[in-house]
Structures are given as C-alpha cells and as structure tokens.
Structure 1
C-alpha cells in the first residue's frame, strides 16, 4: 500500500502466518479492508495509523 500521509512511500504489510511482524486483514461485507495492529512507519515520515473499514485513523 502507499503511505496515506502523501509521502509516496510504498509500505509492505506482511499477511503470512508465521512471519513477524505480521498484520491481520479483514474485509467487511461491503468490501472495505481493516488491518490489525496499527501501521507505524519507524523512519522517514513516521506515520502511525489504523486502517479500519477502508478509512485511515491517525494515531
């Protein structure tokens, strides 16, 4: 996914079981994705956010 802050950075979130760090992806009945836990970019733009029901919620 592209960082939602607008910096243009490509973020990779691992969804494979047994890999760390790893995120859980769920999709609601209308097709909107959610990720758990939050996504934190440790360097560069330092964004920290939740993706819930297709919307970004900043920490």
Structure 2
C-alpha cells in the first residue's frame, strides 16, 4: 500500500506468522479491511497509524 502520509512510499508488511515483525489483516463484516498491529515508519517519514474498517487512524 502507499503510505497514507502522502510521501508516496510503498509499504510492504509481512503477514507470515513466523516473520518478525508480522501483521494480521482481516475483512470486517461490512467488507472493509483492518490491520494489526499499528504501522510505524520510524526511520523514514515517521507515519504511525492503524488501519481500521478501511480508514486510517493516526497515532
């Protein structure tokens, strides 16, 4: 996905459980996507956010 801060960076997150770190993605009942844990792009743009029900929630 593209970073929601607008920096145009591509964010790649592992969904493989044995990887560290890894994330869990799921589809909500309404068809929207959620992701856990939060995404924090510390070394680059500094964006820190959750994806909940298809919306970005900034930390």
- Same fold flag (TM > 0.5): yes
Partner of 2:15: 15
Structure 1 runs, 4 residues or longer, greater than 6 Å off: none
| TM-superposed deviation, 1:31 | 1.4
TM score, norm. by length of structure 2: 0.93
User: Unpaired segments of 5 or more residues in structure 2?
Assistant: none
User: Unpaired segments of 5 or more residues in structure 1?
Assistant: none
TM score, norm. by length of structure 1: 0.93
Answer with 6-15 or 24-33: which moved more: 24-33
Query: Tell me, what secondary structure is at the counterpart of 2:26?
Result: strand
The root-mean-square deviation of aligned C-alpha atoms, in Å, is: 0.7
- What is the correspondence of 1:1-59 to structure 2 with a 5 Å cutoff? 1-59=1-59
Query: Tell me, what secondary structure is at the counterpart of 1:38?
Result: strand
